[in-house]
Amino acid sequence: MSRDGKKHIYNHTEIMLGKLTKDFRLPHTIFPLSYDLLIQVHLNERGSETSFFNGSVTINVYCNKSTSVFFVHAYKNLNVNVDKVHMFMLGDKNQTNSTVDIKEINFDEDAECYRIELKNPLQSNTYYKLIFEQFQSDLDTNGEGFYLGKYLENGTYKYFANTLLEPTYARRVFPCWDEPGFKAQFRVSLIYPKRFRSLSNMDLAKSEILFDEWRLDTY
């Protein structure tokens, strides 16, 4: 909505030029089908040092209308390595077919999204794979996204990491289509110090020890 309460409909020129505001809604020319998300949590038990997380995400998407520009939500505090963003066309059985060349990637802080422009348009009715290979953020204490919490036990504060992704806080954790109208399947892999444990409303598919000090849980 605009300041006068009227909904602003973005035209093609505004989208191509990136003239966006916070009420911008992602076009449905391309949309996600599934996310394969890997997060590693670095949780400081004493709270005297910064706790943070890093990760990667592979998103299978479908293009239903040819376009050379699309958008992916991300919060300003999520540090995304744009040099490690890749895209591929998918062939039969979701096998990688060919590389999609990215022309440029720009972040729009007002709209909280990355504008990704391609050298050549995506083909309509075609499946693609979009990879954000590296991103990182501190665990905030504001109770949104992936955040740091604490409780008092026997006079000592204990720290934990928790998530609140609704209504539009998923973009604080990983690049995504962060609107209720975009539905997708998820596989989440969590790496964390093995002295902790993970809990989820998803079923645990696998758990294993990595490098003695870390555990990998897959949901």
Average pLDDT over residues 72-83: 97
How far apart (Å, rounded) are the C-alpha atoms in residues 1 and 12? 18
pTM (predicted TM-score): 0.86
Res. 17 pLDDT band, cuts 50 70 90: very low
Q: What is the pLDDT of residues 114-172, one digit of tens each?
A: 999 999 999 999 999 999 999 999 998 888 999 998 888 888 888 899 999 998 999 99
- Could you tell me what percent of the chain has a pLDDT over 90? 72
Domain 25-194 has CATH 1.10.3720.10: no
Q: What is the pLDDT of residues 46-71, one digit of tens each?
A: 655 689 999 999 999 999 999 999 99
How far apart (Å, rounded) are the C-alpha atoms in residues 109 and 15? 15
pLDDT for the residue numbered 16: 46
| 106, β-bridge pairs | 115
DSSP letter for each residue of 8-30: PPP-HHHHHHT---TT----TTE
The domain segmentation of the chain, as residue ranges, is: 25-194
